[in-house]
Homo-oligomer: A and B are copies of this chain.
Amino acid sequence: MSVQVDAVLGAAGPALADRMARVEVRLAAAAAWADGALAEHARTAIAAGGKRLRPMLVFLAAGENGPADDEGLIRAAAAVELVHSATLVHDDVLDASALRRGRPTVVAAAGRDMAVAVGDLLFSRAFAELVRNGRIDEVRVLSEASSALAAGELLQREDAWRADVTVERYLRRCELKTARLFEAACELGALEAGGPARELGAFGRRIGLAFQLLDDVLDVSGPPERTGKPRGTDLLDGTVTLPFILARERDPGLPHPRAVTTPERAAAVSDRIAATGALEDVRARALEMVAEAKAALPRADRALELVADGVVDRYA
């Protein structure tokens, strides 16, 4: 997500940059909980998380200043990012991915066994971190979001290689796999600051859903130089997304996902999906979700609006 980080930092006030730096320190400490090689793999996993969008949402949802004592906010942000990192490590096991963000994945560097266990460890540390806030309502938010992530992953595996995935089922998967953790990030920030958790959570869920839709558009549209992966990677993995679903309604001759067996074929099918106009439709849906998210914000908040816009800019 090419959120204009500088703009967000400017709009959010000086506390944000400080907090973003402190969450890195906490994440490093969580990785260092294990020893030796284990800590190194945990660090690799956490580094692969990337842009720290979820911690940023925790901080922004807490408001410009947030609570006077913001240690709880830092812990909540670290906990959300740890769950995200754990999920990425396990996803890479499933996909046997060699690289993430240009670096070797844990599964590639240390094997499947280590990667499953590293994911489990990061997951456990997320809860251990959040528990320190002493707030059972926060733990509830994280445990429900984690359950959703796993259920979303299961749904994706169940629907793999199926040409008949419905729009409804696709949206449910995105909700579980992506939107719920965005929602949790916003809720946790609001809970720590005593703000409107439900409303800010709804904002997070909407932009999370838009984020996933546009991610799926980017997989088809590329360009690879910007996305860092060949076009049609989802189809090659058997993951049927909204662009394919809508395109197939318009172009019944679109090949079955099982027939997409080479990168060349994936690129060609991507072109054919784009030719149906499906990408514009998916993008329009995502834009609508972002607009709804902004309109339903419980307070005018330039930084949150900029993050929502970042979801869109990513595609532009």
List the interface of chain A (C-beta within 8 A of B): 33-34, 36-38, 87, 90, 93-94, 111-114, 116-121, 123-125, 127-128, 131, 134-136, 139-140, 142-144, 146-147, 149-151, 153-155, 157-158
Contact = CB atoms under 8 A, between A and B. Distances in A.
Nearest to A133: B136
Contacts of A121: 147, 150-151, 154
A113 B38 contact: no
A128 B151 contact: no
Contacts of A34: 151, 154
A112 to B, nearest CB: 7
B128 A90 contact: no
A36 to B, nearest CB: 8
Contacts of A118: 150, 154
Nearest to A91: B116
A158 B37 contact: yes
B135 A147 contact: no
Given A131-B136, A131-B140, A147 B33 contact: yes
A16 to B, nearest CB: 28
Given A136-B131, A154-B38, A158-B38, A116 B144 contact: no
Nearest to A141: B131
A166 to B, nearest CB: 14
Nearest to A110: B157
A120 B157 contact: no
A34 B34 CA distance: 32
- A-B complex: 6 closest residue pairs judged by Cβ atoms: A121-B150, A127-B143, A120-B150, A124-B147, A124-B146, A128-B143
Contact of A116 (B36, B94, B134): B94
23 contacts: A33-B151, A34-B151, A38-B155, A38-B158, A90-B116, A90-B120, A94-B112, A94-B113, A116-B153, A117-B154, A117-B157, A119-B120, A121-B147, A121-B154, A123-B146, A123-B150, A127-B143, A127-B146, A128-B144, A128-B147, A131-B139, A134-B136, A139-B139
A154 B135 CA distance: 30
